[in-house]
Amino acid sequence: MPLHVETGFPMANATAIGVGDRDGHPEVAFTPDPHGGPEALWFYFRLVREGPEPRAGDLVRLVLKHPENMLGGACPEKIRPVVRAAAGDWERLPEGRREELPDGRLRMVWMIPAPADSLEVAACYPYGHPDLVDLVRETRWYWRVATIGVSQGGRGIVRIANDPGTPGSTRPGFYLVARQHSGETTGSWVLDGFLRYVAAHPERAPLVWAVPFANIDGVEQGDYGKDNFPYDLNRAWGDPPMRHETVVIQRDLARWKARCRPELGLDFHSPGACEAEGVYAFLPDPGKFPLEHREAERWTALLAGALVPEFAAAQVEQVPYYTSRWTTPDFTTYCFDKLQVPGLTVETPYALCNTTVMTRELYRQVGSRIAAAVCRAVVAGGG
Q: What is the pLDDT of residues 40-64, one digit of tens each?
A: 999 999 999 987 888 888 999 999 9
pLDDT of residue 383: 42
CA distance 214 to 211: 6
pLDDT for 204 equals: 86
Question: Residue 252 belongs to what H/E stretch?
Answer: helix 244-258
pTM above 0.75, yes or no: yes
Residues 78-116: pLDDT tens digits? 999 999 999 899 999 999 999 999 999 999 999 999 998
Q: What local confidence, expressed as pLDDT, does residue 380 receive?
A: 65
pLDDT at res. 324: 86
How far lies 71's CA from each of 93, 183, 216, 315, in Å? 20, 12, 21, 21
The angle that helices 360-379 and 290-307 make with each other, rounded to 10 degrees, is: 120
**Alpha carbon separation from 376 to 113, 281, 379 (Å, rounded):** 46, 19, 5
The Cα-based distances of 307 to 110, 263, 304, 349, 373 in angstroms read 31, 20, 5, 14, 10
CA distance 361 to 341: 30
Q: Is the pLDDT of residue 323 over 50?
A: yes
